[in-house]
Amino acid sequence: MKKLFLHIGAPKTGTSAIQDFMLRNRKALASQGVLYPAGGMLKSAHHLIGAAIHPQRAKRLGATPRDEALQTAVSQINEEVAACAPHTLVISTEYLWGKLSADNIRRLLTPFSDWDIHVVVYLRRQDLLAQSLYIQAVKTGSAQSFAEWVNTAVDSGKAGFFFHSVLACWRDCGLPVSVIVRIYEKSDIGSDVCADFLQTLGGAPLQGLVNDRRSINTAPDMATTELLRFVNARLLGSDAAEQVRRSIVKHSPPRELFAPLRYIGSAQLIEFMARFEDDNRRVAHEFADRPDGVLFREPLPSDSIADPAHFDTTTLLNKLIELLPILTQARPTAANSRGNEPAAEATPQDRPKKKKQKNRQLKPQIAG
């Protein structure tokens, strides 16, 4: 039976790297029966599909009704399937992350009822997920401290910190769905999330794929993050702040994969993780095949420190001064105004033919 793998996140678990990898290898994948479709795509992921399903993401569709957006995406995917007859279909968007109603899930899955459906999820320990999401928030303009930001984030419907409720809504949607859980820890997935994702798809080993592990949506280190927050607080909401942020991130070293994050002090860390203890145990038993009930096996750091107050103003100013020669030479371009690095572009032969759409936001945007 044909297989559909629906990769829904979670956020900050290498989703952008997986999506970029799948996009750059679309042609090689399709030649071996694995389709990463252009239908519903925004940049390198199927965010138009996610926005059509998740109510809190619908604003990405503009004035287009959610049902219309979904129908258009499904129609485009069906055309691609008919053209290349794949045995495996892969759809990826973290916009589907968070608790969803069974009705919304069935809206998405019913058109694919003749496929064997697998939902792929990478789970990251909640304290690391929170801190990584915080860095992303600062990268995009937040001036809040971690302590100010975190409680609102945990309670957000999009954040999905209580994993069991997120996974159960797919399992219990009323359609036959297999939920595949991967643990985003180095001891489980190694240092290459793209290779792990390919193994999760199963089947024969794929040939001729490009996997150079290039950095996508990189996170800055903690000192750079504090500098960004310093900029955000003084140039709040301005175009100048966005340009400065992009230049700082571009010319600062990215934080290494699995490098420690220390926005939570040791005592607060234990208290924070206690909120999720029962929920994680249920996930370990019901979804991760871990009879001992331990979902995350890497220990909590014992030397954690609270908010990075040790990055004083002088330190941050010195870091900014080091970057000034680069920042003063930076000029906005069409590419860097959309992000640190544009997504790879599929070749013209790689793009399926599509009918003209009335709303341009529904067109798959292969290049980001």
Sequence-distant (6+) residues with CB within 8 A of 321 are none
Domain contains 22: yes
* pLDDT score at 328: 65
- The residue to which tokens 């793998």 are assigned: 5
The one-letter amino acid code at 81 reads V
Query: What tokens does 104 get?
Result: 């919304």
Domain contains 233: no
pTM (two decimals):
0.83
Query: What tokens does 65 get?
Result: 């009704």
Pick from 332, 331, 21: which is nearest to 206 by CA?
Answer: 21
Cα–Cα distance measured from residue 119 to residue 262, given in angstroms and rounded to the nearest whole number: 31
Pick from 127, 99, 116: which is nearest to 4 by CA?
Answer: 116
Query: What tokens does 249 get?
Result: 């991130």
Cα–Cα distance measured from residue 3 to residue 1, given in angstroms and rounded to the nearest whole number: 6
- The residue to which tokens 């790297």 are assigned: 17
* pLDDT score at 353: 47
* pLDDT score at 173: 97
Length of the chain: 368
CATH number at residue 71: 3.40.50
Domain contains 204: yes
Cα–Cα distance measured from residue 260 to residue 219, given in angstroms and rounded to the nearest whole number: 12
Is it the case that residue 195 has pLDDT exceeding 70? yes
Domain contains 282: no
Query: What tokens does 226 get?
Result: 């504090």
pLDDT digits (tens, 9 = 90+) for 171-190: 999 999 999 999 999 999 99
Cα–Cα distance measured from residue 1 to residue 88, given in angstroms and rounded to the nearest whole number: 9
Contact 119, 205 (CB under 8 A): no
Domain contains 174: yes
178-182, 255-259, 296-300: range with lowest mean pLDDT: 255-259
Q: How many domains does the chain have?
A: 1
Query: What tokens does 125 get?
Result: 């320990």
3-7, 83-87, 226-230, 299-303: range with lowest mean pLDDT: 299-303
Domain contains 21: yes
Contact 142, 149 (CB under 8 A): yes
Domain range spanning residue 47?
A: 3-127+157-214
Angle formed by the axes of helices 102-109 and 163-171, nearest 10° = 50
Helix (H, G, I), strand (E, B) or coil at 261: coil
Domain contains 293: no
Domain contains 329: no
pLDDT digits (tens, 9 = 90+) for 94-115: 999 999 999 999 999 999 999 9
